[in-house]
Amino acid sequence: MKREGISFRRAVEILQNDIGLISESHEPVKQSTTKQLASNLVAEKDEQQALKRVIDFYHETLKQSPEALEYLESRGLNHPELINTFKLGFANRTLAYRLPAKNRKAGAEIRGLLQSVGILRKSGHEHFNGSIIVPVVDESEQIKEVYGRKVLGSKLRKGTAQHLYLPGEHQGIWNHLPLAACDEIILCESLIDAMTFWVNNFRNVTCSYGTNGFTEELLNGFIQHKVKRVLIAYDRDEAGNVAAEKLAEQFKQYNIDCYRVQFPKNMDANEYALKMSPARKSLELVIRKAEPMLSAKVRDKTAAELKGVNQKEKKSTSDLVAKPKEETILPASPMPTAPSLEIEAEVSDNEIIMLFGSRRYRVRGLKKTMSYEQLKINLCVSNDELMHVDHLDLYHAKQRLSFIKQASIKLGVNADVIKKDLTKVLWKLEQLQDEQIQKTLKPEVKAIQLSAEEETQALGFITLA
């Protein structure tokens, strides 16, 4: 009944026909016009769970879509770890084929649910048709926002939006983990630019939703986690420059130093990384040369005030210097260095040891995790004679939160401290996991051993030559 969208009586007739209880002389059972659903999406009643299943569907679609992977390749983003970590997907107009017909009860219900979350439009068409999909997930694994980027670009009809989001206000912080672990964050204008930094191993990066899309949630995240320095990597055009100046003034109120990443004129991070080789070294260069920001408006105002001072008033030099200093000078800060993910660890065949202050983390079982989609380990944290040990998947937000809560209680340490430690542990293990996966995939090169006779012959050839 649920699968075919038919009545109880008709369902009974179909089943009877299947097992031979209805003779062949009976009228043949009519075939349903409803296509079968390959997933459990129809059974969902919760918006968040339905959205997660759609994202899973798009994620699997991406892996089987040459045109989507080709687009990612053209942007330097066809990176398995990126795709799996952030669950990138592709909407290729096939979602509707997985749903019951809209004239069926189940089909009407699931379409109404997907319209309410913004995946389907009122017309019934997919909102993100023809787009690469990037979900924005919070610490509780709730999908807060979805970004879509059309892959056809210039081939689209005039006026078609190339950048899409879910309806309503922007929510969520993409790649939120670094905010809790790093003093310095790279802030990009778009997700494409942020992912460009990420695949080049600058993992302390996040982004706003366009030049006017820096949300209050993002600001609160920077303040809450006590970020000290922001490198604004917006596009090097008029809109990007104006937005960067506004952000610098905003961050200044919270004693957060701002630096402007200077790409070539009218260029963004992704375009720069594609044109400059090697990309990582080129990005590192612009980060190292990022310039401290001072609002142009405040700077001009200060200059005018100094120039217009009436010398007849005979104010002291110290008075003249003090006034602009109070309202224009950003906190002194050394030139920012390239972000580093180097976390010291003692690595042996059976376990990995990391020390953060008096806290000792022991990791076992990493060698068994040979998939980028999970990071299942046995993790033990100890502090003097106190200890907490658990088996968890570090990519599972609820399991991380449970570990943080229990460890902070047993060790008598603030939960925020354990949270920052765990972020560093995750980053280090990702690095080690990637190394072991790449080592496994790399073909083994067998060294050629020459016998004594062969060595003598070889030397003879060299002498003759």
246: Cβ contacts below 8 Å, ≥ 6 apart: none
Which of the listed CATH numbers 3.40.1360.10, 2.30.42.10, 3.40.50.720, 3.40.1480.10 matches domain 177-303? 3.40.1360.10
For the chain, 465 residues long, give each residue's pLDDT as a single digit of tens: 777 666 676 678 778 777 766 554 445 444 444 344 444 565 567 889 999 999 999 999 999 999 999 999 999 999 999 999 999 999 998 887 778 777 777 778 888 999 999 999 988 889 999 999 999 999 888 999 999 999 976 566 776 788 999 999 999 999 999 998 889 999 999 999 999 999 999 999 999 999 999 999 999 999 999 999 999 999 999 999 999 999 999 999 999 999 999 999 999 999 999 999 889 989 999 999 999 986 444 444 444 454 554 444 434 433 433 333 333 333 334 455 555 557 889 999 899 999 999 999 999 999 988 887 789 999 999 998 899 999 999 988 889 989 999 999 999 999 889 988 998 899 899 889 888 888 887 766 667 777 888 887 877 777 665
Check residue 397 and give its pLDDT: 81
- Find residue 395's DSSP bridge partners: none
Q: What is the pLDDT of residue 202?
A: 94
Predicted pLDDT at 165: 96
Q: Phi, psi at residue 452, to the nearest 5°?
A: -60, -40
Q: DSSP class of residue 152?
A: S
Domain ranges of the chain: 1-32, 42-165, 177-303, 346-441
- Is there a common fold for 42-165 and 177-303? no
pLDDT value at residue 162: 87
**What pLDDT does residue 325 have?**
35
Architecture of domain 42-165: Alpha-Beta Complex (3.90)
- pLDDT the model gives residue 463: 65
pLDDT for res 6: 65
- The pLDDT assigned to 44 comes to 62
